[in-house]
């Protein structure tokens, strides 16, 4: 039985999915990926276990960034849906525009559209990273990890060049995974700041706000449900049948790819 923290966190959200086939594919992918989830959780545990060399933090931050902050491919996917809508008319057009709108809605919080004066999630990540690495050179290619850059390219390929259905499923799964991973990683980041960098509990919490805002108010859970709505609108427009076996395979690949990144990072931490 998969008893990982991440799975326990996402399971109630997945169980509320009304599409039985999709719900089963999601649950199965997590059930079958216990080893991958363990590798992911072990990496965060290693992060907070001691103070590391500066190079490790830079590589970690560069790699973790590649698995998040996916606004460019999300925008590309929304543009594809909008373009397809303009090529159709009537109810097909309406459904496609709604699909584009629901998909794009996953970036509203990232851009702080409704919070005038606040920082974008990208800037919040920069602050989180600067506190660990001492600057912003973690962004340089010399600190990149092949597994992470390959993952980033895979995400972009799925959302911008593969079938739109694959793009929506990829975005949808990224949101539910983020919900679990952010929930697990928050305490490890705060522990790292407090125990190994000597920051006060208040400053540790402030530096972790990039993660915290994704955990509070169920932001990623809401994004997950947005993409489910986008997928449903796309299906109504095209009449395409969802291959749930294909879904499960895609979801498992997502978890395996992230796990390979985190396993490599843990090796570098030793």
pLDDT at 189 over 90: yes
| CA–CA separation, 257 and 252 (whole Å) | 9
Cα distance between residue 263 and residue 36, in whole Å: 9
User: By the 8 A CB rule, do 52 and 132 touch?
Assistant: no
Residue 1 within a domain = no
Percent of the chain with pLDDT over 70: 98
Check whether 7 has a pLDDT greater than 70.
yes
Q: Say whether pLDDT at 33 is over 90.
A: yes
Residue 20 domain-assigned (yes or no)? no
Non-local CB neighbours of 8 within 8 Å, separated by 6+ positions: none
pLDDT of amino acid 241: 84
| Better-predicted residue by pLDDT, 110 or 24 | 24
Ramachandran quadrant class, 268 (left: phi over 0; alpha: psi -120 to 50; beta: rest) = alpha
Evaluate whether residue 18 is within a structural domain: no
Q: Is residue 8 a part of any domain in this protein? A: no
What's the pLDDT tens digit per position in 151-178? 999 999 999 999 999 999 999 999 999 9
Q: What is the DSSP letter of 194?
A: I
> Is 123 contained in some domain?
yes
Q: Is residue 59 part of a domain?
A: yes
| Any domain includes 109 | yes
- Residues 6+ away with beta carbon under 8 Å from 43: 262, 263, 265, 266, 269
Q: Is 76 inside any structural domain?
A: yes
Q: What is the mean pLDDT of residues 184-200?
A: 96
Q: Looking at the predicted structure, is the pLDDT value of residue 53 above 60?
A: yes
Q: How many structural domains are present in the chain?
A: 1
DSSP 162: S
Mean per-residue pLDDT, 224-233: 97
Q: Which residue has the tokens 């294909």?
A: 246
- Cβ-in-10-Å burial (0-12, 13-18, 19+) of 193 comes to buried
* Radius of gyration for the chain, computed over Cα atoms and rounded to the nearest angstrom: 19
Q: Which domain holds residue 257?
A: 29-269
pLDDT at 115: 61
Q: What is the CATH number of the domain that holds 193?
A: 1.20.910.10
pTM for the whole structure:
0.96
pLDDT digits (tens, 9 = 90+) for 104-140: 999 887 777 766 557 888 999 999 999 999 999 999 9
Inter-residue contact 84 to 161 (CB < 8 Å):
no
């Amino acid at each position: 039985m998969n008893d990982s923290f991440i799975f326990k966190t996402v399971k109630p959200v997945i169980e509320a999915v009304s599409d039985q086939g999709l719900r089963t594919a999601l649950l199965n992918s997590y059930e079958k990926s216990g080893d991958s989830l363990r590798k992911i959780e072990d990496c965060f545990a290693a992060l907070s276990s001691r103070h590391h060399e500066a190079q490790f933090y830079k590589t970690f931050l560069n790699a973790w960034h590649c698995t998040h902050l996916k606004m460019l491919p999300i925008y590309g996917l929304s543009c594809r849906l909008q373009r397809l809508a303009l090529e159709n008319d009537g109810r097909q057009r309406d459904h496609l525009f709604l699909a584009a709108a629901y998909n794009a809605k996953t970036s509203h919080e990232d851009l702080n559209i409704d919070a005038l004066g606040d920082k974008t999630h990208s800037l919040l990540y920069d602050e989180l990273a600067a506190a660990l690495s001492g600057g912003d050179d973690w962004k340089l290619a010399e600190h990149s990890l092949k597994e992470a850059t390959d993952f980033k390219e895979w995400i972009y390929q799925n959302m911008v060049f593969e079938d739109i259905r694959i793009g929506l499923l990829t975005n949808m799964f990224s949101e539910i995974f983020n919900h679990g991973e952010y929930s697990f990683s928050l305490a490890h980041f705060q522990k790292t700041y407090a125990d190994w960098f000597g920051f006060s509990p208040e400053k540790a919490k402030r530096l972790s706000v990039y993660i915290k805002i994704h955990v509070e108010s169920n932001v990623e859970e809401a994004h997950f449900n947005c993409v489910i709505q986008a997928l449903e609108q796309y299906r109504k427009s095209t009449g395409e049948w969802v291959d749930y076996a294909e879904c499960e395979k895609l979801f498992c690949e997502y978890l395996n790819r992230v796990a390979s990144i985190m396993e490599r990072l843990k090796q570098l931490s030793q």
